[in-house]
Structure 1
């Protein structure tokens, strides 16, 4: 049984192939939007890291306040 013939893998290969084809044949005037997407992605990554740090800190504080009885 070849895992590459799995329906999910076949679907993903088709979707990725279509995306690659559209990226290669797209209007070249849209190249500036790639920089915009990179900036937006970077901003979202910074926001995600800030949220992670806040949640981690609150969980750590709550865990330290638990009385274990020892």
Structure 2
């Protein structure tokens, strides 16, 4: 029985990126030098895209947490009229 070197993670986007990068690396090893250079460029581009997505996700997550904290504080401090100061 063959051993599966790829253990899926809990996040589909990570699995897709790992699969994509493994395919690019495999093609780089089996192809010409030009194709290898192209694969390295794609890996670098992919890494930059993943980093940008991570930063944007962190910013959105922080904004949502701050908004949720404001709503929670408003609910806690609401007066008898149901308004928040």
TM-score range with shorter-chain normalisation? 0.5 to 0.7
**Over aligned residue pairs, what C-alpha RMSD do you find?**
2.9
Higher relative contact order (CA 8 A, sep 6+): 2
**Greater helix proportion:** 1
Aligned length: 55
C-alpha displacement at 1:28, in angstroms?
Answer: 1.0
Instruction: Give, in angstroms, the shift of residue 68 of structure 1.
Output: 7.1
TM-score normalised to structure 2 length: 0.50
Moved over 3 A (4+): 18-23
> Which consecutive residues of structure 1, in runs of 5 or more, have no partner in the other structure?
1-9
- Give the structure-1-normalised TM-score: 0.59
Which segments of 5 or more consecutive residues in structure 2 lack a partner in the other structure? 8-18, 29-34, 79-85
Q: Does 2:41 align with 1:29?
A: no
